[in-house]
Every structure is written in structure tokens, then in C-alpha cells.
Amino acid sequence: MELAHEDKTGRQAFYEKLDGVHTAPLWAVMSQLVTPEPRSRCVPHKWDYAGMRALLMEAGGLITAKEAERRVLVLENPGIRGLSQVTQSLYAGLQLILPGEVAPSHRHAAAALRLIIEGSGYTAVNGERIPMAPGDFILTPSWMFHDHGNLSDDPVVWLDGLDVPIVNLFDASFAEGYPGGDVQHVDRLAGDARARYGANMVPLEYEPDSKSSPVFHYPYARVREALLQIESAGMCDASHGFKLQYANPVTGGYPMPTMAAYMQLLPAGFCGQPYRSTDATVYCAREGKGTTFVGNERIEWSVGDVFVVPSWATTSHQVGERSVLFSFSDRAAQKALGVWREERLND
């Protein structure tokens, strides 16, 4: 910011004096601190699934899931390398578990969500083993023990999303291993959480003891069926196609306090209107193929590809064939804090 009466040497000496006592003049930095609109260092980027899968398999030959604790390739936003961040607030990675492997049980303050890309395995959480199938959405809420395994004959690969950068922003990170070995004690039947909380009913006089959805598993088969039925009813959103958000059935709100997640069907020939919002978003293509325009960039995607859209970047989707996109963002946290904004733009 230019000041009316230049006195550069006097000011410089003053700034050095301030610097010596861990102080700085706000007027020199204010325009970068408080911008008229979001100015993200993050950039749009796509991680091609075929290439990432090959690298995961290479990692599979170099380190076991147990030795690595989590055999994950972290997706780093090219604009902020070295921070293990896919956006300013979120972590994303691709995880591989080979047949017979176990990723040992642990818990941490950060919450995780997963979108299964290929194969079948399980995640154990809250004493229950949750089966993983392609397209399934799975939660491991904050401070709940979780371990993963693969009892099949093929690799299982999924996309992890965590709110690690948010927890670390608050310097509120805690983590510990499961005291009883690699695999947590399983004391609930398969399907227990879904039976108790996922049938549009809850246990008698239920009072939530967690800020996250007690339903840890949202199988893709049901989501897909819902999207197809909604598509057949028409009323396509001009920007989003047919889009559903994952919900905590107890509150109707987001499945976790920090993260929102979505599945959207883009009907054949869809040519979406541009849209932007303050929640930078990570997408994973579930079915079909298409193009997403992000600012001046053009991202071509097909099944398994992961791509990231920065905050406030103008975004539009186009497809030839019917396609399905999964996505997640920090919208839950932004809405809780009252800072979330969106804008629909017209061509």
C-alpha cells in the first residue's frame, strides 16, 4: 500500500526496529491478508488413475501395508508442494492393500472419508467390519480406532480424504496405536451400524454421542439406484446435473463436522453452466468420462481419475455419455463458521 508521504529510509529503519521485537506493520501486509476475494495458491490438477495405479503397485513391491502403517501415495496440490495437502484445508491420497495384508489399527484426531475405486476389502471401525466395494463411501470419524484388510485375491485401492490440515491449523493433533495388536477387536455383526441407523430409524430415544454420522458405510449400489431414479424424474440442475449429498441420518446434516461429500450423475450430453464456491473440491470419477473446465484449464477425466478444483475457480462439467462423479470438500466446516459462498455464473 502506497503512503502519502514517502520517507523510505525512516520507515525502513522503523520496520527493522519492529522486526527485532517480533512485530510487523499491518499496513505492509494487509492487502495480502484480507483479499477482496479468494486468491488461492492451489491450482487445478488431475491425477490419472492408470498412472497412479502403476505407482501404487510399484509401492506394493517395495513396502508392506504393515510396515508402512498406511501404504498411501499422497496427492499434493502442485501449487503448495511439500505440505501433504490437496487443498488449503484437506489431505487426499490413494491407498493400496494387497491380498492378505492388514493396515494396523490406530486412531487420530483427524477424520477420514474413503471412496473405494477398485477391488474389495474391509475397514474395521467401532468394533464392526465394514465391507468395501467399488463406489462405496466409508467414514472413519475423529478418534475412532480403524484398521483395514483385504481378504480377497485382488488388490483394493481407494481414495482417502482427511481433515488433517484443519486439525493441524488448530494444533490439535493426537494419535495412538491400538493397544491390543494390529487388528481391533470385532464385537459387532456385519451390517450392525446400518441396521441401527441406516433404515430411516434410530435406536429408541437415541442421543448422539458423536459429531459424525453413526452410519459408517454408504454402499454405492443404493446411491446409484437413487441417482438413476432421480434422473428418470427429470429436473436436472443446470450446473450440477443430478447431485446428492451424503448425510448424517441423525441430523440431516453433513456426515462429518468438517467434510461434505457428494455423488452426482451427469446425464448423457450434459453441458453444465459455470459455477464456483469457496470450498475447494476433490473429485473422483466413478462412471463414464467427461471434461471439467476449471478457470482456463480443461481437465479430461475417466473412471478412477482424481482431480482438484481450487476455491472460487469457475467450474463447468461436460459429458458425452452418462457419467458419475464423487466429490468431497470442507464445505461442512466453512458453513459451520459462516464463511461459505457460492455463485452461479451464466455463459
Cβ nearer to ligand 1HN, comparing 270 with 326: 326
| Stretch 133-152: interaction string toward ligand 1HN, x if CB under 6 A | -------------x-x----
* Alpha carbon distance, N-terminus to C-terminus of the chain: 35
Q: For residue 279, state whether it binds ligand 1HN (rule: CB under 6 A).
A: no
Of the candidates 112, 139, 167, 280, which one interacts with ligand 1HN according to CB under 6 A?
112
* Nearest alpha-carbon partner for 246 in 104, 87, 135: 135
Q: For residue 93, state whether it binds ligand 1HN (rule: CB under 6 A).
A: yes
Binding range to ligand 1HN, per CB under 6 A, among 4-12, 87-95, 258-266, 318-326? 87-95
CA distances 45 to 87, 248, 267, 280, 307, Å, are 11, 30, 24, 12, 5
Of the candidates 40, 43, 46, 70, which one interacts with ligand 1HN according to CB under 6 A?
70
For residues 285-324, which are near ligand 1HN according to CB under 6 A?
A: none
Binding range to ligand 1HN, per CB under 6 A, among 106-114, 126-134, 264-272, 339-347? 106-114
Cβ nearer to ligand 1HN, comparing 156 with 162: 162
Smallest distance from ligand 1HN to CB 274, Å: 33
Smallest distance from ligand 1HN to CB 254, Å: 20
Of the candidates 87, 88, 95, 258, which one interacts with ligand 1HN according to CB under 6 A?
95
For residues 157-196, which are near ligand 1HN according to CB under 6 A?
A: 160, 162, 164
* Nearest alpha-carbon partner for 93 in 115, 72, 116, 69: 72
CA dist 135 and 142 (Å) reads: 22
User: Identity (one letter) of the amino acid at 28?
Assistant: A
* Residue pair 137/115 in contact by the 8 Å Cβ criterion: yes
Cell numbers describing residue 194? 446400518
Cβ nearer to ligand 1HN, comparing 258 with 277: 258
Cβ nearer to ligand 1HN, comparing 112 with 266: 112
* Nearest alpha-carbon partner for 266 in 297, 296, 298, 301: 301
* Nearest alpha-carbon partner for 245 in 259, 229, 266, 228: 259
* Residue pair 26/64 in contact by the 8 Å Cβ criterion: no
Ramachandran class of 285: left when φ > 0, alpha when ψ lies in -120 to 50, beta otherwise: beta
Binding range to ligand 1HN, per CB under 6 A, among 14-22, 59-67, 91-99, 230-238? 91-99
Q: How many C-beta atoms surround the C-beta of residue 67 within 10 A? A: 9
Edge-to-edge strands, sheet with 175-177: 128-132, 121-125, 146-149, 102-108, 175-177
Smallest distance from ligand 1HN to CB 197, Å: 22
CA dist 277 and 148 (Å) reads: 34
Smallest distance from ligand 1HN to CB 219, Å: 19
Number of residues in contact with ligand 1HN under rule CB under 6 A: 13
Site for ligand 1HN, rule CB under 6 A: 70, 72, 91, 93, 95, 108, 110, 112, 146, 148, 160, 162, 164
